[in-house]
Amino acid sequence: METQTNTPGQTKKSKQEKTQPEENLKGTFAAVLIVGGIILLSWFGVFGLFLERA
């Protein structure tokens, strides 16, 4: 069995890999806000229909 030792170059790569996906979170946050807005608009629309018919 071979044991792997971390060299300074390997630790830098792992840190970069962990920080890279954070750049894509802006798009994810925007998509969540859009979907949440659609859900809220549809909920208020259905609630308005409920109040009209009551």
> What is the torsion angle, in degrees rounded to the nearest 10, for the CA atoms of residue 38, residue 41, residue 44 and residue 46?
-70
- Is residue 39 domain-resident? yes
Q: Which residues of the chain have pLDDT under 70?
A: 1-2, 5-23
- Is residue 15 domain-resident? no
Question: What integer pLDDT is reported at residue 54 of this predicted model?
Answer: 83
Question: What integer pLDDT is reported at residue 6 of this predicted model?
Answer: 66
Amino acid at 38: I
Question: What integer pLDDT is reported at residue 21 of this predicted model?
Answer: 55
- Is residue 35 domain-resident? yes
- Is residue 14 domain-resident? no
- Is residue 44 domain-resident? yes
Structural domain span for residue 47: 25-54
- Is residue 19 domain-resident? no
Question: What integer pLDDT is reported at residue 38 of this predicted model?
Answer: 98
Domain count, the chain: 1
